[in-house]
Amino acid sequence: MIPYVGIAILILLLGCAPTSILMDQQAKESLSAIKEIKVMYYESPAPLVPISPVGGVVAVVASATETHRERLDKMGLEDPILQVKNGFLASMQTSLPKTILSEVPHPLPDDDLEKLKRELGQGYLLDFKTTKWGILNNAMQVYSFAVYQSRARLVNLSEEKIIWQGVCHLVENDPIARPSILDFEADNGALFKAYLAKLATSCVAELNRQFADTGASQ
């Protein structure tokens, strides 16, 4: 369908995104021996908003028009990362019932493995990070939609090694109703918030699927 062509172009404009790193069966089976896994998330990036047209498609960056930015700030929007984290943890605790999941009480700004080892010490870490989220506008189809990109990792801090990495590259759109940017702003951002909730639920399902997969890395 034509709308998805425009969406694909827009996602490419967002730049490179993390890719999944899947575990083999042996690594998956060894997880049950881990007594404790630290859990944390990172500070959220600013939401994306539409700006000037580029070749029939509206590009997006974090430093978009202040008027729209100010309206977004007043809506009480929240990066869905906490919903994603809590949903995935519920599933992981079921699959690893004897493992203690110890949450770090505050988000960190940097996901560099060496810095994390200095900050958190030895052991294992499960971390969650939103890489991009917000509203895009397909100028060719004249409607707006929500995007969400995030990443989860299981890390051996002692070795500074990523054991598993799951990713979400998701879009929530309605080519039938064709909501505008004004529709997303109406009622204190009610439509945008509903879209974000759907994206978070879809992301949890996708992370669970990738965590259960023991195939080759994508």
The per-residue pLDDT for 141 is 65
pLDDT of residue 211 exceeding 70, the answer is: yes
The per-residue pLDDT for 107 is 94
| Other residues' Cβ atoms within 10 Å of the Cβ of residue 80 | 27
What pLDDT digit, counting tens, does each position of 160-189 carry? Answer: 999 999 999 999 999 899 998 889 888 988
* Domain 2-212: CATH class, spelled out: alpha beta
- Band of residue 49 on the pLDDT scale cut at 50, 70, 90: confident
Q: Where are the chain's structural domains?
A: 2-212
Please, what's the b/e burial string for 3-29 (b: 16 or more CB within 10 A of its CB; e: otherwise)?
beebbebbbeebeeebebbbbeeeebe
Among 14-23, 59-68, 74-83, the least confident range: 59-68
Q: What is the DSSP string of 172-188?
A: E--TTT---HHHHHHHH
Predicted structure pTM score? 0.84
- Band of residue 24 on the pLDDT scale cut at 50, 70, 90: confident
H/E element holding 161?
strand 161-172
SS3 165: strand
Among 5-14, 153-162, 175-184, the least confident range: 5-14
Residue of 75 and 178 predicted with greater confidence: 178
Q: What is the DSSP string of 15-42?
A: ------BPPPHHHHHHGGG--EEEEEEB
The per-residue pLDDT for 196 is 95
